[in-house]
């Protein structure tokens, strides 16, 4: 059950990311054609107001298709109409005229040639696959040549449409952190909320409701309890608590190393903060985590930190473990994954959002679009890097699971 919830959580983060692209595109007048959560083939889809909404069978991502991402080239016509030409050689002339028109800068002429090709297609009997490919070609080329095509839009509109995806994930992380700070994670108290089974705390007899007043004979405040336990570095310690109005000394027991610190295995009850203080803390935590993630990504460039890379399998496992520890733990992990997803997408690599942003800024500075060949060559490099990271993470996860 926890695995299923973890997978749904990842799908939700992808949905939020794509919603950012989708609604920002609509807001700036770049009307999307498709909104997918997951990759094709679609297991469920519907079309409303000219937009296809679908859930893909491969739950490893998602995408929003904005018409005319690139300036159309003759190869686009060749790819979509070659089957029709093979079945009806008489269409070769109209298709060749479309291809030649796409080599020039007269977009009106290209649209006129498309109209002529559509008339020619109407008089031919083609197989269903050839008809579907030709109709898709007509739609795609008209979108790419139309006034709302992405590649023709002002720099600021394109920038907003692309950056909105990662921004939506960052915003979600801040919302989750704010909620947690307003509820149970704002300020720790000395009261024990939960004790992990088979932990040193359970062995020494610590119980929920106990109030911790001292660690190894030293009086502590709520903010000092964790550090006092960790500083023991595994040495047996005694914990003094107040239970039913009486002070009790529990232990000794040795804290165990967990995530580079020593813990006894209990959690403290937290007090919620006010909205503005919780929001401030959430933004602060977001900044700290962002800095650490950027630092970790920078270490990968130098060949360090390879063992910290995870694939969707590892992320799902971490989420599943957090679910078993409780809703609060899972929401923290979900917020951290949302933030990581945003930062990963901002890497300056095509086809990631960061790569598109770099091209938007370069084209804005040049005052004209870059050739499709440049996009394709850079995309090959970007895809190779992304796949390398994926397989590194997958090998790490398989090693950890085995």
- Binned at pLDDT 50, 70 and 90, residue 60 comes out as low
Provide the 8-state DSSP code for 186. S
- Binned at pLDDT 50, 70 and 90, residue 176 comes out as very high
pLDDT in tens, 14-55: 889 999 999 999 999 888 988 988 888 889 999 988 888 998
Residue 400 has pLDDT above 70, yes or no: no
Task: For residues 4 and 1, give the distance between their C-alpha atoms in angstroms, rounded to a whole number.
Answer: 5
- Poorest-pLDDT segment among 159-168, 178-187, 301-310, 376-385: 301-310
pLDDT at 339: 92
Residue 180 has pLDDT above 70, yes or no: yes
pLDDT in tens, 181-193: 888 766 778 888 8
The helix-helix angle for 2-27 and 312-325 (nearest 10°) equals: 110
Q: What is the CATH number of domain 188-271?
A: 2.30.42.10
With contact defined as beta carbons under 8 Å apart, do 400 and 314 qualify? yes
Chain centroid to CA 258: 27
Residue 5 has pLDDT above 90, yes or no: no
Tokens of 343: 């930062």
pLDDT in tens, 343-366: 989 988 888 899 999 999 999 998
Handedness of CA 275, 281, 285, 291 (dihedral sign): positive
Q: Could you tell me which residues come within 8 angstroms of residue 262 by beta carbon, excluding any fewer than 6 positions away?
A: 229, 230, 231, 232, 233, 234, 255, 256
**Domain ranges, ordered by start, for the chain:** 74-147, 188-271, 275-401
pLDDT in tens, 306-339: 666 776 767 777 777 777 767 878 888 899 999 9
Residue 303 has pLDDT above 70, yes or no: no
pLDDT at 41: 86
pLDDT at 401: 63
β partners of residue 192: 268
pLDDT at 362: 92
With contact defined as beta carbons under 8 Å apart, do 239 and 251 qualify? yes
């Amino acid at each position: 059950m926890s695995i299923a919830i973890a997978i749904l959580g990842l799908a939700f983060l992808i949905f939020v990311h794509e919603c950012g692209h989708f609604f920002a595109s609509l807001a700036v007048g770049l009307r999307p054609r498709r909104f997918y959560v997951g990759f094709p083939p679609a297991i469920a889809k519907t079309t409303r107001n000219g937009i296809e909404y679908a859930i893909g069978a491969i739950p490893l991502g998602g995408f929003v298709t904005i018409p005319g991402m690139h300036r159309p080239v003759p190869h686009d016509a060749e790819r979509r109409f070659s089957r029709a030409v093979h079945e009806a050689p008489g269409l070769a002339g109209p298709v060749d005229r479309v291809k030649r028109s796409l080599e020039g800068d007269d977009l009106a002429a290209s649209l006129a040639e498309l109209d002529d090709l559509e008339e020619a297609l109407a008089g031919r009997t083609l197989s269903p696959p050839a008809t579907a490919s030709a109709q898709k070609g007509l739609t795609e080329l008209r979108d790419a040549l139309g006034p709302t095509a992405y590649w023709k839009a002002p720099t600021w509109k394109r920038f907003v449409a692309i950056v909105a995806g990662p921004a939506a994930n960052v915003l979600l992380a801040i919302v989750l952190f704010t909620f947690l700070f307003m509820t149970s994670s704002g300020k720790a108290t000395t009261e024990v909320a939960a004790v992990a089974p088979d932990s040193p705390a359970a062995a020494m007899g610590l119980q929920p409701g106990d109030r911790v007043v001292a660690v190894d004979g030293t009086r502590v405040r709520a903010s000092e309890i964790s550090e006092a336990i960790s500083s023991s570095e595994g040495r047996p310690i005694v914990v003094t608590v107040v239970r039913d109005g009486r002070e009790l000394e529990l232990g000794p027991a040795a804290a165990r190393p967990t995530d580079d610190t020593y813990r006894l295995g209990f959690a403290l009850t937290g007090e919620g903060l006010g909205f503005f203080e919780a929001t401030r803390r959430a933004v602060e935590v977001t900044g700290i985590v962002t800095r650490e993630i950027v630092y970790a990504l920078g270490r990968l460039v130098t060949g360090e930190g390879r063992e910290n890379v995870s694939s969707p399998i590892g992320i799902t496992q971490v989420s599943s473990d957090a679910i078993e520890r409780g809703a609060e733990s899972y929401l923290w992990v979900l917020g951290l994954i949302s933030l990581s997803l945003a930062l990963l997408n901002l890497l300056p690599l095509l086809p990631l959002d960061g790569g598109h942003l770099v091209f938007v800024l370069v084209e804005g500075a040049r005052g004209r679009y870059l050739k499709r060949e440049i996009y394709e060559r850079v995309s090959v490099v970007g895809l190779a890097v992304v796949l390398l990271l994926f397989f590194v993470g997958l090998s790490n996860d398989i090693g950890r699971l085995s």
